[in-house]
């Protein structure tokens, strides 16, 4: 099994159980790898596993979410494309946000800096689209933060209610939330 395949399975385990709930036993079952094999890939253990998943997540977000927001084009089209990307990435609102799960409990101090960098990059890219659409810089940043808060909040709500409709509404209403 390639390391990328292992990282994809790790992502699923962390999304399902969170950092604290993702025991090495659960990780071993999900990946089909023994503890020794896991430590071969990740000598520093679970912390390195989560950090690697976070690195892969950021690389994916950069390619699939941030770069498309930064190319020239119609701001409304870019926001709609972002919504489609998020819908796919979060499995229609059925998958938990990895950043959210790492931001609580014992993992919070370990990963606060990369989580903050990831969210800051997303906020900045989205705010730039809104400035391009004619919004004031301060208003654009506030609208970007509000939209991301709504997306992330509806992921939690959808998970807790067992119903992804709040997430679907947030994605469909992104242009309105962003003032476009």
In tens digits, the chain (180 residues) has pLDDT values of: 888 899 999 999 999 999 999 999 999 999 999 999 999 999 999 999 999 999 999 999 999 999 999 999 999 999 999 999 999 999 999 988 888 888 888 888 889 999 999 999 999 999 999 999 999 999 999 999 999 999 999 999 999 999 999 999 999 999 999 999
Are the C-beta atoms of 145 and 137 separated by less than 8 Å? no
Are the C-beta atoms of 130 and 179 separated by less than 8 Å? yes
**In total, how many domains does the chain have?**
1
Residue 171 lies in a domain: yes
State the angle between helix axes of 46-61 and 24-31 in degrees (0 to 180), rounded to the nearest 10. Answer: 60
CATH of residue 65's domain is 1.10.357.10
Residue 17 lies in a domain: no
Could you give the dihedral angle defined by the CA atoms of residues 164, 79, 51 and 36, in that order, rounded to the nearest 10 degrees?
Answer: 60
Residue 18 lies in a domain: no
Residue 110 lies in a domain: yes
Its domain, for residue 75, covers: 54-177
Residue 160: the pLDDT is: 93
Residue 97: the pLDDT is: 87
Residue 1 lies in a domain: no
In angstroms, rounded to a whole number, what is the distance separating the alpha carbons of residues 10 and 2? Answer: 12
Residue 96: the pLDDT is: 86
Residue 119: the pLDDT is: 95
In angstroms, rounded to a whole number, what is the distance separating the alpha carbons of residues 163 and 166? Answer: 7
């Amino acid at each position: 099994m390639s390391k990328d395949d292992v990282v994809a399975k790790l992502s699923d385990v962390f999304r399902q159980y969170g950092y604290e709930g993702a025991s090495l036993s659960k990780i071993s079952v999900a990946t089909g790898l023994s503890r020794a094999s896991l430590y071969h890939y990740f000598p520093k253990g679970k912390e390195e596993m989560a950090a690697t998943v976070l690195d892969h997540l950021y690389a994916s977000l950069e390619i699939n979410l941030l770069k498309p927001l930064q190319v020239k084009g119609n701001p409304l089209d870019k926001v709609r494309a972002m919504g489609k990307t998020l819908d796919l990435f979060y499995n229609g609102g059925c998958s938990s946000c990895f950043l959210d799960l790492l931001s609580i409990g014992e993992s919070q101090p370990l990963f606060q800096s990369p989580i903050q960098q990831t969210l800051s990059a997303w906020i900045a890219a989205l705010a730039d689209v809104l400035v391009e659409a004619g919004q004031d810089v301060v208003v654009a940043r506030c609208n970007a933060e509000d939209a991301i808060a709504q997306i992330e909040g509806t992921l939690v709500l959808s998970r807790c209610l067992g119903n992804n409709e709040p997430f679907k509404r947030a994605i469909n209403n992104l242009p309105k939330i962003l003032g476009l």
